[in-house]
Structure 1
């Protein structure tokens, strides 16, 4: 269910598209559902339907729309034409993003095609949740119904087991129950929870499947709740990494918005953000305030503070023992060999640097192939774009490019060549020679600066 407006978010963005750990809330749920290999995934949209439907994806995904929004039961009614006569329907909430696949699978198994299964959890503070009412006092008693918090008697409010809003039901029963829902209540809405009373009245067993942790069932209704869930989630990811041997300077200042694979003895300083898929080799060290997305960083590499690495689809590779930053930027297609040094305010894009190459200050390398042990001077750039097409620069091993040079691609700098500082190179430079391309220096005697008029 993903039709709600989310008024308390106070945002023009549909609630289910707000992001947690870098992904839309709804996308988290769809990813979990996809692991169950269902014959189809039906998403019920409403507010901002076109925007929501364009933003998410999943295998066998279909959309139905709820308009107007007349309650949870009315929402599921919109999916009736797409439900098969046999099988099981699992109902999840688009604003409850961290449901684990194992928990969803256990809920389906509890249904077993013949029971109504409710996902429940025991909370220390169950305020606001519907209470699970059972026969007798024991937790193992039969489920008799759900009592909303506002309707609960004092003894019922003492119940700690609550309904999470997620259930699984046999299609043949659910289709009939949905058709029989009524909206004769103060809100004039159709409540999905009314099917519990229908099941009990018919003698259909109602069972509870218990969520493993509170974080799985927490919904998002406000920016405050979103921020709280983000920190809970990040803390859980940080703890899992530390248990595997990663050393985080402060787990409260760590953000993982994708997949992070770490070798042994990896160290990560504060305020680092990891997105997409990032691999950190053994002994890699990540300095403070780095942002790294879609990159493979080999063993022993050091990423100094404030470095920005974004591989996008092409990826970035950093070789063993390389040193990057501080304040460096690696863009898609940057492939850095072992012991490469990329220093402060150096940008590398779609370029390969062989072992030991260095660009230590204020430089740009785009669409370049750089040989071993090249020294690339401060302020130098490859002029790789002619206004219509990109061209490549090749710099041979052991070449030295002086400061403030412009290498106008396509151009080749031969192995062992030296390019004099301040040169603009438009033709190939031969191996082992000094190449200088700049205007002759001149001084004009008797010249004076212009003066302002009186």
Structure 2
């Protein structure tokens, strides 16, 4: 069975992190985001993986090569981003029978994918409290009868998570969709055609996460780091103390006086300490450095980034090759205990999180003794002055710490 993984998007809502890394290749645990989907697809029975690539497609090609986990890999290029049906249609030359389409920037529970692969045609359906922001299914006797986008009065609370098992006939239908009102070719139009012609099973998805914004990358890492099993392959020196499910990869170094509380992953080439404290679903990427007296909590630190001296970073995402000056302090909690807001595509947006720190873009730097407000975003190659209290673009409303 061919499995099409959509991985062409630019990830504008994830900026500035995606200025340097394609969104499907952002780190989640010990592998890129889309590798979790590829791994689950292989375990569910994929005979071939077809990645639809576009923005920074070379990152995807370099990671997966021509064969992945013993399964052949093919690539299709989406030069223009004209919607999900348009993306999947680029894979048409590789489709010879029934096929599965998955989003490369979503995480699915593996049992659901197993069930999806076993049923054809079928779609993944996830239950939410408020379905109005989603595509919502009408379901009768376990079969989908309709899908409605962002309805004011939802027909159910089971929503579309972008996981489809299509019959062979739908391969041609991918190329026959009309432009929607928003100027895209929608894969839900293909699904509607399949629903008209077939009984389409609604497969229950117990756990799902669409990873489109920085705090969702944090949540994705909380999920996958929570599945770690303790493994210490690197160099742990002196009286360093590792508690719980901590993974220290070969080539990583933990200096004396360090305390790491799992779940935490310290990747190859990373250096921690001396006298640092790492806790709470933290990923320290390859060749990162967390130095003396630093505390890092529930944070993603991407490859090549340094937090070298007497700093605090909590509930944050640090892009690659950034550097936080000595004494940098990240605030991650509002004084009024409200949800932290941040700026996405120029608009202030709630993260839905009581605790959220900062997003630091690739190559950015802070001056010594910088204070970063909750939800602030430091752009790619941006910087702060020594002693600056940095709020980022579009300052927060009253109540931010």
Same-fold call, TM cutoff 0.5: yes
SS in 2 for 1:176: helix
Cross-structure match for 1:260: 230
C-alpha contact 1:16 1:24 (8 A) present in aligned 2: yes
Pick from 32, 35, 60: which aligns with 2:40? 32
Cross-structure match for 2:175: 179
Deviation readout 1:282-302 (Å, 9 max, x if unpaired): xxxx971387668xxxxxxxx
Deviation readout 1:114-162 (Å, 9 max, x if unpaired): xx20001111233421111134xxxx3542111111xx14253xx2111
Cross-structure match for 1:154: 153
Deviation readout 1:368-427 (Å, 9 max, x if unpaired): xxxxxxxxxxxxxxxxxxxxxxxxxxxxxxxxxxxxxxxxxxxxxxxxxxxxxxxxxxxx
Pick from 206, 222, 225: which aligns with 2:213? 222
Task: Report the Cα offset of residue 38 of structure 1.
Answer: 2.3
Cross-structure match for 2:30: 22
C-alpha contact 1:260 1:277 (8 A) present in aligned 2: no
Cross-structure match for 1:132: 137
* RMSD across aligned positions (CA): 3.4
Task: Report the Cα offset of residue 48 of structure 1.
Answer: 1.0
Return the alpha-carbon distance in structure 2 between the equivalents of residues 231 and 307 of structure 1: 18
Q: Residues 213-292 of structure 1 correspond to what in structure 2 (within 5 A)?
A: 213=207, 217-234=208-225, 236-237=226-227, 256=228, 259-260=229-230, 268-269=242-243, 273-276=246-249, 288-289=259-260
Pick from 75, 88, 93: which aligns with 2:87? 75
Cross-structure match for 1:94: 104
Cross-structure match for 1:194: 189
Report the CA distance shift for 1:103/1:141 in structure 2 as closer, same or farther (over 3 A).
Answer: closer
Task: Report the Cα offset of residue 275 of structure 1.
Answer: 4.3
SS in 1 for 2:162: strand
C-alpha contact 1:26 1:56 (8 A) present in aligned 2: no
C-alpha contact 2:45 2:117 (8 A) present in aligned 1: no
Return the alpha-carbon distance in structure 2 between the equivalents of residues 175 and 164 of structure 1: 20
TM-score, normalisation: structure 2: 0.55
Report the CA distance shift for 1:274/1:155 in structure 2 as closer, same or farther (over 3 A).
Answer: closer
Return the alpha-carbon distance in structure 1 between the equivalents of residues 249 and 167 of structure 2: 38
C-alpha contact 2:131 2:157 (8 A) present in aligned 1: yes
Return the alpha-carbon distance in structure 2 between the equivalents of residues 123 and 77 of structure 1: 29
C-alpha contact 1:117 1:209 (8 A) present in aligned 2: yes
Report the CA distance shift for 1:61/1:268 in structure 2 as closer, same or farther (over 3 A).
Answer: same
Report the CA distance shift for 1:288/1:147 in structure 2 as closer, same or farther (over 3 A).
Answer: same
Report the CA distance shift for 1:219/1:141 in structure 2 as closer, same or farther (over 3 A).
Answer: closer
Return the alpha-carbon distance in structure 2 between the equivalents of residues 123 and 93 of structure 1: 19
Report the CA distance shift for 1:292/1:70 in structure 2 as closer, same or farther (over 3 A).
Answer: closer
Report the CA distance shift for 1:198/1:124 in structure 2 as closer, same or farther (over 3 A).
Answer: same
Return the alpha-carbon distance in structure 2 between the equivalents of residues 189 and 50 of structure 1: 25
Structure 2: state its 5+ residue gaps.
Answer: 1-5, 233-240, 252-256, 269-273, 279-283, 287-291, 294-401
C-alpha contact 1:16 1:94 (8 A) present in aligned 2: yes
Return the alpha-carbon distance in structure 2 between the equivalents of residues 125 and 47 of structure 1: 32
TM-score, normalisation: structure 1: 0.49
Pick from 156, 162, 165: which aligns with 1:165? 162
Return the alpha-carbon distance in structure 1 between the equivalents of residues 119 and 177 of structure 2: 24
Task: Report the Cα offset of residue 80 of structure 1.
Answer: 0.5
The structure, 1 or 2, with the larger RCO (C-alpha pairs under 8 Å, 6+ apart) is: 2
Return the alpha-carbon distance in structure 2 between the equivalents of residues 292 and 164 of structure 1: 31
Is it true that 1:210 corresponds to 2:204 in the alignment? yes
Cross-structure match for 1:62: 74
Larger Rg: 1
Report the CA distance shift for 1:155/1:106 in structure 2 as closer, same or farther (over 3 A).
Answer: closer
Return the alpha-carbon distance in structure 2 between the equivalents of residues 32 and 108 of structure 1: 11
SS in 1 for 2:99: strand
Task: Report the Cα offset of residue 306 of structure 1.
Answer: 5.8
Report the CA distance shift for 1:155/1:26 in structure 2 as closer, same or farther (over 3 A).
Answer: closer
